[in-house]
Amino acid sequence: MRDRPKQIPPVALVILGTMLAIVLLAIFKPSAPTRDVSERHDRVRYVLAEPGAHSPSIQLFGRVQSPRAADLTAVVTANVTSIPVRAGSKVSAGQLLIQLDDTEASLARDRAKASRDEAAAQLQTTRLRYQSDRKSLALEKKLAKLSEDNLQRLQSLRGKNLVSQTQLDQAEEAKARAELSLSQRQLSVSDFENELARMEARLASAEAQLQQAELDLTRTRVEAPFDGTVTDIPVAPGERVRPGEPLLSLFADAELEVRAQIPERYLAAVRDGLGQGELAASTELEGRTLALNLKRLAGDASDARGGTFFLRLEFQTPELDCSREALRNNFASRVAEPYGMQWQISYASEKKRMAVMVSRHDHVIMDLLWRTSRGDLPATIPMVISNHEDLRGEVERFGIEYHHIPVSGDNKAEAEAKALALLEGQVDVIVLARYMQILSSDFVSHHPHRIINIHHSFLPAFVGANPYQQAHDRGVKLIGATSHYVTEDLDQGPIIEQNVQRVSHRHSAEELKSLGQDVERQVMLRAVRWHLEDRVIVDGNKTVVFVK
């Protein structure tokens, strides 16, 4: 019996089979088809440059308007008789637009004419009476002389008992009557110049009234002052209009202008271009492109219809991937500068440093100190400055430095200099919590739009000491407070916040004062909070406040 050959392990068989398969695939692998290698070309866009004169251009947004537009109003009280035009009608200068009933105006003209004729007649009568008085004056003088001579003759005869006492008395009476008549006539002649001036003035007044009446009569016919297009007719036939009420609006369509605000960064280039002649422009109007010429630069265009746009944008950046400096630089270059913005970026996490200046009244400062200490106001108070020592203990209890700087008429400049030295570089805003001193223009100029004041709303009605007693004596029905930025003009700075409280005759002067102080606290708190949260933008002498 022969021995059996040793059996090959299964793992070795798998390995040998795999190697055999790889060798066979490598031997009998089909060859890959050959491809011709060609040169690769990328697509390139090209533009043919055409030599020529090219000018920079800017795109603006504006409005089309006419430099000649009119809102015609009624001058007389009358009924509308007819309106031969409609809104959108083309009209020519002198064309009838609205006809008013002229009946009342005609009657007024007739009355004025009658008054004029009466005044002229009175003037002529005065002149004739003067001529008559001058003739009568000569006769009166003769009669007075005869009466005096007769009296003297009778007195001589009376001494000889040739006439009776009755005859003598009658002669004296005749002499007295002659003298009285002469005096009155002389007065009438002497007053002629004054009477003549009065009559001439009355006639001139009547003439003026007649001219006005005739003018009003012509104004019952409302005509177009220039060639143009009617835009609005707010009245209808049969309506009664009174002086000042609108009748019709139109504009001169042959003199249209496109008004647009040019960003400040382009103004210098535009001015240079205008210095060399008119600048070409175009506009899109009703789907048509119209050629324009820029002829002149006007003033500001910062009214509410097309000038300044105010925006406060608050956003959170929990995963900001750039530094604050990079954010500012990118915003400036990509957004602010291309659109000519005035802007700033502030961070809510950075509390502003707020200094408080106060005199003796504590109702405002204590509210600010308490709310700041509780974190209700996003600020820190590094110092309090006062011209009195009264509130030192109350302030230092909050751990705040208290600086006493006395102020008098002799050392006001020195005192302000000390205060400025303390504030320089140490604060972001100054709050006048009933600081009863007037700050100089020099002091205010160091902190423009960063000094907030509060005062009662009685100004300028009740100035001086004890305004609440003055208000009580006058029986006011409203009391209030105003918070504003301090400027060089006393109590005339841009207003931030105001509020009022209704009162009655039942409130005493002390109660008015207490209510007024409550309002002052509330108004000052809101004004300070809005400033600290960067919700206030100063625009000229007013503010734009973004309230929650």
Which range marks the domain in which residue 400 is found?
A: 352-545
Q: Are residues 419 and 526 in the same domain?
A: yes
d(CA 531, CA 453): 12
Q: How far apart are CA 535 and CA 312, in angstroms?
A: 7
Contact 408, 435 (CB under 8 A): no
Name the DSSP letter for residue 192: H
* pLDDT band, very low/low/confident/very high, at 66 (cuts 50, 70, 90): confident
The two structure tokens encoding residue 487: 């400027």
| 8 inside domain | no
Query: Has residue 380 been placed in a domain?
Result: yes
3-state secondary structure of 383: strand
Is residue 296 in a domain? yes
In a domain, 25, yes or no: no
Residues designated catalytic: 491
Paired tokens of 429: 């805003």
pLDDT band at 10 (very low <50, low <70, confident <90, very high): low
pLDDT band with cut points at 50, 70 and 90 for residue 338: confident
395: domain CATH number is 3.40.50.170
Beta-strand runs (E) in 443-520: 451-456, 478-485, 495-502
Sign of CA dihedral 80, 83, 89, 93: negative
**DSSP string covering 34-101, please?**
P-----------------S---------EEEE-S-EEEEE--S-EEEEE----TT-EE-TT-EEEEE-
Q: What DSSP element (H or E) covers 325?
A: helix 324-331
Res 195 pLDDT > 70 = yes
Give yes or no: residues 130 and 201 share one domain. yes
Confidence of residue 444 (pLDDT cuts 50, 70, 90): very high
Q: Rounded CA gap, 294 and 281, in Å?
A: 7
Question: In sequence order, what are the residues at sequence separation of 6 or more whose Cβ sits closer than 8 angstroms to the Cβ of residue 541?
Answer: 487, 492, 493, 494
* Confidence at residue 24, expressed as pLDDT on a 0 to 100 scale: 65
What is the band of 249 on the pLDDT scale with cuts at 50, 70, 90?
A: very high
pLDDT at 11: 58
Spatial separation of the C-alpha atoms in residues 221 and 228, rounded to whole Å = 18
Residues 392 and 485 in one domain: yes
Task: Answer yes or no: do 362 and 477 share one domain.
Answer: yes
Task: Say whether both 452 and 531 belong to one domain.
Answer: yes
**Same domain membership, residue 395 and residue 460:** yes
Q: How confident is the model at residue 102 (pLDDT cuts 50, 70, 90)?
A: very high
* Section 376-380 average pLDDT: 94
SS3 152: helix
Domain annotation covers residue 526: yes
For the purposes of burial, counting CB atoms within 10 Å of the CB of 39, is it exposed (0-12), middle (13-18) or buried (19 or more)? exposed
Q: Is 186 exposed, middle or buried (0-12, 13-18, 19+ CB in 10 A)?
A: middle
> Are 419 and 518 contained in the same domain?
yes
Residue at 45 is within a domain = no
Other CB atoms within 10 Å distance of the CB of residue 230:
20
Model pLDDT for residues 407-419, shown as the tens digit of each residue:
988 899 999 999 9
Kindly state the helix (H) or strand (E) to which residue 537 belongs, with its residue range. strand 536-539
In 327-437, at which residue ranges do the beta strands (DSSP E only) sit? 352-358, 379-380, 383-386, 401-404, 429-432
How many domains does the chain divide into? Answer: 4
Specify whether 423 is located in the same domain as 280: no
Q: Are residues 402 and 521 in the same domain?
A: yes
pLDDT, one tens digit per residue, over 111-170 is: 999 999 998 998 888 888 888 877 887 888 888 888 888 878 877 877 777 778 887 788
Looking at the structure, tell me whether residues 194 and 147 fall in a common domain: yes
Same domain, 376 and 265: no
What is the number of other CB atoms lying within 10 angstroms of the CB of residue 357? 25
pLDDT of residue 2: 47
- Residues near 222 by beta carbon (within 8 Å), at least 6 away in sequence: 72, 96, 97, 98, 99, 100, 247, 248
State whether 213 and 356 are in the same domain: no
